[in-house]
Amino acid sequence: MEDYAIALGGGGARGGYEIGVWKALKELGIPIAAVAGTSVGALNGAVMVQDDFDRAYELWTSMTAERIINLENDIFIKAGKKKNRVEKFKLVKQVISSKGLDQSPLKQLISEIIDENRVRNSQMDFGIVTFRLSGLKPVKLFKEDIPTGKLVDYLIASSCFPAFKPYEIDNNKYIDGGFADNIPISMLVEKNYKNIISVDVSGPGRVKKVDTSSVNIIYIKNSDDLGGILEFDGERSKFNIELGYYDTLKTFSVLYGKKYCLLAPNKSEEVICSSYPEKLERKDLINFYLYLGLNLDDKMSARDKFITHRVIKAIKLYSDKPLNADNTLTAMAEICAELVGIERFRRYTYYELVDKIISEYKASVSDKDFAVYSKLIHRFIRRDSSITFDIDGNTPLINRKYLVFFMPQLTVNDQKVIKYRKLLSAALPKVSAANLFLSFILSAPSY
């Protein structure tokens, strides 16, 4: 296998994602020849070059803001207690506009973790990006360009994002490398690396354009929200690490799926679970419209077009490819699994995921709370006044899990139920898609 170089992006507290990417690359046995990083990407990169995965994992999963920032006057503690976003922003801005946050805890932490000799003696190449205020000049340095004894200083200079005080080295002040190049692919291209893995954590900053026509680049980007750039929290980092790990396995086609981590089923599972529909057939498309009281071959009103479009659009968000017969039901299964609370970060085949959904359905519909909720919805459907949903979920009627499990029959003749389904599709299209998916599954021959 050919060697790869990695470009690690900046993004503050979102950096745990890059540790998850690293975990997957190690598991896949992908050889790394070089790492270039900006800001937190530079810090993670130095630990990667040292090959200290366990240390990096422990650091991120026990992370607190106090380990990074000197919380002068408890400003961030106060900000955290403020519910009003405007007030919270004003408190943070107060510190930033006066003199900036003190990053001395970060320097102490980096000094404890980074062994300059190990970085310099590693077989891996290593580069960082920072930005010098004097002359407003981007500074890109590989380890051979960094003066001996100054590696920690330049790592801090690279990660000195705008909330921090500028960091001084030899009478020059530096700020975050994101002002120069937040994902330093350009450094690696300029040094003639031909296989590059780009890791983007959606951090703020400029990404320098570079001609990559003669380079093989694999792009890895977070598929879900990673939190704020100052949200230094161990539990949040655990989620980000898991996301980075599974996003990477999907990028290298070990797994597939938008939210969930799906494996191709083996032959024995295909035989056992063949009763589960996996591909969309024309009869399913007909049933989709019948579910909403519509006929596929009839001309639809503008309102009905809007309703069906809402549901289809929601399903499309769970597929990286255009919807077709092969991937539509998988996308719907992921929506259903998410709404009913199936564990996300573990590996499933499509059939195993459906099994989990069915098990959750059977457990829920036998629960007395579900019976009470169903009576409430039936009463809601039967009343004569106009049916409306509180989309924000501020009324007892919005329980997404129970709505998914409510009346999963493909076709009904009751016009009030059809009216309810149309309203559900317009107001909560993901819930409608999940209920429809469950209806498809339960209408299969084995049910």
Amino acid 404: pLDDT = 95
Amino acid 298: pLDDT = 83
Question: What digits encode the pLDDT tens for the residues 402-431?
Answer: 999 999 988 888 899 999 999 999 999 999
Contact 128, 160 (CB under 8 A): no
Amino acid 272: pLDDT = 55
| DSSP, residue by residue, 216-252 | EEEEEE-SS----TT--BHHHHHHHHHHHHHHHHHHT
CA 286 to chain centre: 34
**Which residues does 5 contact at the CB level (< 8 Å), separation at least 6?**
32, 33, 34, 35, 36, 125, 188, 193, 195, 196, 197
Q: Quote the pTM value.
A: 0.86
Amino acid 90: pLDDT = 53
Question: What digits encode the pLDDT tens for the residues 278-303?
Answer: 888 888 888 888 899 988 888 889 99
pLDDT band at 201 (very low <50, low <70, confident <90, very high): very high
Q: How many alpha carbons fall within 13 Å on the CB side of residue 358? A: 16
Reply yes or no on whether the pLDDT at 83 is more than 50.
Answer: no
Reply yes or no on whether the pLDDT at 61 is more than 90.
Answer: yes
